[in-house]
Amino acid sequence: MKRNRELVEFEVDPATSKARVIDAPGAGVDPFVPAELMLQGDNRTLTEFLAFRAISRRRPDWQKVLKPFGALSPVHLALLGHGLSLSDQYWYRAPGSTERWEDINFFDNEWETGFGEAVLSGDHARLAACSPDVPDTTTNGRIVKTWERNDKGVFLIKASIWPDGSDFVGSKLASEMCAALFGEGRYVPVNIVDRYGRFCLASPLMLAPDEEFADGGLICIVTKYPEEPGVKYTGGLTAERCQNLIDAYATLGVPDASAHIARMACLSCLALLKNFHSDNFGAIRKVGSDAWRAAPAFDYNGSFGFNDHMLYHPELFKRPFLLKLICAQHFSFLLPSWDWSWYDQRALDGFEDRIMEAYAPYRNLPPEFAKSVASTFTMQRNYVNGVASE
């Protein structure tokens, strides 16, 4: 279902998660139906779509989450909970059900808090008394996550992998950098919080209840530009991919497409986000409208020294020239022909000191870590300044 419209009727084997399309009455009607559902009758792509919208098998607690519910697979668990998410308006309705979007969606309705409390505290036995009808069952990725609603709004809570929370310092720094450089409305702020004795990253919900999101890959497919403008998990951004995104955004009617992609590419270069793929680029529109706006910067995972295991390797921080070579290889793709009218060369003056300050309390990092990250940022800032002034 997309809200109250049936997109595809299918059946699925709970154990293997393999899906079979029975009928696709709504596929192809809306150009922003996911690409996997646009291919009518394609069982393989539907299976991939279902798997992507379930708890990932890369997540360390996925088996502990499934067991109390008797779920045979991550997709089975998602089906038990309607496949509901806070990132889109797609969900699964059982045969014969009369449920409607207004009755069950998490934008307008509460959900059980015990699920999130159980996974964050590690007390998975408590899940047996919980309903699986929560947004957590469709939270992909390798980090333990849960959605939380409090008096300040709705937040995605991500649990730290490192006991001291140092793996989230870079994300918070990137958020602060975006605030200084991009301005209000151009980024999603994040903060490090404590939940059940664990350091967590709290990110506010990006979408309003009446909005929907299309990622960069889907935008390029729909607007007939080369798909996959950023390669997931390998490669990264290039000038060509960014230009494809600019053209696709412009075709879609997103205002200031060149300036927006320049901002996002700038974020990738300054924060050393090598794994900055097409899911991080997107557009948002009000449901039923044709007016799209660029999605703000929202995914900072791995910024400033934690962008992948290769760059974190302690040996690199003993050899600063290797970091500079990596930057030259991966983060030197900006084009002066993009719209840089928004860029303020003085906005990030002294930010290298903020990096040093932020990492100073963390003794588990190599002694050279903070200094290397700060000096690499300074080098990248000089590079961006040069491109923006041409």
Please answer whether residues 294 and 213 qualify as being in contact, where contact means their C-beta atoms are separated by less than 8 angstroms: no
- Mean pLDDT for each consecutive 10-residue tract of the chain (390 residues)? 89 95 73 62 86 92 96 96 90 93 93 94 95 92 92 95 90 97 95 95 94 87 68 64 92 95 95 81 90 94 68 67 81 96 97 96 86 91 96
Across the beta sheet with 282-286, what order do the strands follow? 211-215, 282-286, 292-294
Please answer whether residues 46 and 22 qualify as being in contact, where contact means their C-beta atoms are separated by less than 8 angstroms: no
| Cβ neighbours for 108, distance < 8 A, ≥ 6 positions apart | 102, 209
| Cβ neighbours for 74, distance < 8 A, ≥ 6 positions apart | 17, 51, 54, 55, 56, 57, 62, 66
Structure tokens at 70: 């008797």
CA distance 283 to 303: 22
What is the distance of C-alpha 205 from the center of its chain? Answer: 11
pLDDT of residue 32: 66
Question: Among 388, 367, 385, which Cα is nearest to 377's?
Answer: 385
Helix (H, G, I), strand (E, B) or coil at 318: helix
CA distance 227 to 233: 16
User: DSSP states of 95-117 as a string?
Assistant: TT----HHHH-TTTS---THHHH
Claim: this prediction has a pTM higher than 0.85? yes
Which helix (H) or strand (E) covers residue 200, if one does? Answer: strand 198-204
Helix (H, G, I), strand (E, B) or coil at 271: coil
CA angle 114, 147, 306 (to 5 degrees): 125
Structure tokens at 67: 């067991």
143 backbone dihedrals φ, ψ, rounded to 5°: -100, 145
Label residues 60-98 b or e (16+ Cβ within 10 Å = b).
Answer: eebeebbebbebebbbbbbbbbbbbbbbbbbbbbeeeee
Question: Longest Cα pair distance anywhere in the chain, in angstroms?
Answer: 64
CA distance 300 to 187: 10
In 205-256, at which residue ranges do the beta strands (DSSP E only) sit?
A: 211-215
Domain range 211-389, CATH class: mainly alpha
- The full set of domain ranges for the chain reads 9-159, 211-389
pLDDT of residue 29: 58
Amino acid in position 165: G
pLDDT of residue 307: 47
pLDDT of residue 237: 83
- Count the residues in the chain: 390
Q: Which residue has the tokens 């840089």?
A: 340
CA distance 375 to 268: 16
Please answer whether residues 8 and 37 qualify as being in contact, where contact means their C-beta atoms are separated by less than 8 angstroms: yes
CA distance 61 to 320: 36
275 backbone dihedrals φ, ψ, rounded to 5°: -95, 65
